[in-house]
Structure 1
């Protein structure tokens, strides 16, 4: 099914009905390595497989849980938690990539936490390092917007929400995330290019979702888990198993961070 604004409204209605709540206040999309952090975000109110909602498909990437949950957080708000996303490289349908974010916005979400696993251009940010996104560079050549939607992206990632994250972990650094189309990992030359452009991190998600969220008026907090040093920065070959292993090793810290953020948002 093609993901459109109309199907996002349909999916939001189906989502709220399946999880048994009237609306969502906040949401978390958990990327590679982050799914284990979902268990402590709050009291679970309901769940359903993503693939059962209009316009969604079950995730194809190992390490993504493929479920949407509704939880009551420590702040008393209702949060949606997606343990899976559609990546641009799956079928090059940018509207499918944005569909999850648009569904959450249609369900009432005003603040969105986007997470990912990524490669680091900085040798001092090795596997297990968590980085707040200050900005991004979209190298996919795509956008989820159509027509004259001139969205201001000067504050793509909310400074206020970054302060919320730092109230939980004051040591979190900030960086610039560069999205490549994938699914192949970046070459050393591409990584060097990303660094010349001002990037600190490289990955295959997040920026297109952020554009869709900002177009819908949703504030975004972006958080990356470094799972490996990018090609040419480290000597080890890149492997998705390394991504999963880094997420598993960092799970206690990720759970503590997201639980603390959920109690404030």
Structure 2
């Protein structure tokens, strides 16, 4: 893994000189955030050594480098999911590359199903914690101390100071946000009525198929993390409505202007 990451980083650095401070991973329907970046360079995943290729509709599949205000940023237009057939080391490979490139702060976004009754479709949830229910762990196997320690402290997976700054920005910008716990399941099926009930009973507020592996690996490498989720369907176990991926994208795109403003201002101000 170390050698593969070094090869990928060397390839990127051979294209141009750039040391990003922020990494951004964009979820379903949120890819146009890159319009807020003063883009200096863009690399399709297909050209990057050792990179998987995103196969999901709504994920464009490029690594974008540029600036937001005075901050240097690298953004993933589309992430990789366990349900696509990749193992967790492949899913989280770009996070390791970001760290070696210089990234110290990671912003992750996703689309999720809400189970908290105070949420509605389009709610923006600032993630304060997560519950990992994925069947494979990204740190399973021999640990390479060059990346991080064998046992990772997960008492603060999401930076409390970044979360506080995001809440201040939301308040001053009149953006309605919620706070909540995100649960990761493997997918690709949407949850059954009983699974939504389980998610709620265990203590999560929303559920999705991504993000948590990336956050674990980011914390393994001591990166600060901020996460947010757009609720694209409601898993009310009494009145569930049929959901499909097209509706998920539509709901995410509707919330996107507020999400973009929030992430942009967080990067500029934090």
Q: 1:62 Cα shift?
A: 0.7
2:188 aligned to 179, 183, 188, which one?
A: 183
Please state if 1:203 is matched with 2:208.
Answer: yes
Q: Are the equivalent residues in 1 in contact too, given 2:193–2:240 (CA < 8 A)?
A: no
Query: Residue in 1 aligned with 2:152?
Result: 151
Residues 231 and 162 of structure 1: CA distance in aligned 2, closer, same or farther (over 3 Å): same
TM-score, normalised relative to structure 2 = 0.91
Q: 1:253 Cα shift?
A: 1.3
Distance in 2 between the 1:120 and 1:233 partners? 13
Query: Residue in 1 aligned with 2:62?
Result: 67
Q: Per-residue displacement from partner, 1:126-154 (whole Å, max 9, x unpaired)?
A: 11111111111111122111346100001
1:252 aligned to 254, 257, 261, which one?
A: 257
Query: Residue in 2 aligned with 1:130?
Result: 124
Q: Are the equivalent residues in 2 in contact too, given 1:30–1:83 (CA < 8 A)?
A: yes
Distance in 1 between the 2:103 and 2:72 partners? 9
Query: What is the DSSP-based 3-state SS (H/G/I as helix, E as strand, rest coil) of the residue aligned with 1:162?
Result: helix
1:15 aligned to 12, 15, 25, which one?
A: 12
* Count of residue pairs the alignment pairs up: 259
Please state if 1:32 is matched with 2:37.
Answer: no
1:89 aligned to 66, 83, 87, which one?
A: 83
Moved more, 225-234 or 90-99: 225-234
Distance in 2 between the 1:182 and 1:110 partners? 29
TM-score, normalised relative to structure 1 = 0.93
Q: 1:9 Cα shift?
A: 2.2
Q: 1:5 Cα shift?
A: 3.0
Distance in 1 between the 2:238 and 2:248 partners? 16
Q: 1:186 Cα shift?
A: 1.3
Residues 235 and 197 of structure 1: CA distance in aligned 2, closer, same or farther (over 3 Å): closer
Please state if 1:54 is matched with 2:49.
Answer: yes
Structure 2 regions of 5+ residues with no counterpart? 144-149
1:216 aligned to 184, 207, 221, which one?
A: 221
Query: What is the DSSP-based 3-state SS (H/G/I as helix, E as strand, rest coil) of the residue aligned with 2:32?
Result: helix
Q: 1:86 Cα shift?
A: 0.8
Q: Are the equivalent residues in 2 in contact too, given 1:16–1:23 (CA < 8 A)?
A: no
Q: 1:106 Cα shift?
A: 1.1
Query: What is the DSSP-based 3-state SS (H/G/I as helix, E as strand, rest coil) of the residue aligned with 2:177?
Result: coil
Q: Are the equivalent residues in 1 in contact too, given 2:115–2:200 (CA < 8 A)?
A: yes
Distance in 1 between the 2:30 and 2:41 partners? 20
Q: 1:182 Cα shift?
A: 0.7
Residues 54 and 253 of structure 1: CA distance in aligned 2, closer, same or farther (over 3 Å): same
Q: Are the equivalent residues in 2 in contact too, given 1:187–1:231 (CA < 8 A)?
A: no
Cα RMSD (Å)? 1.5
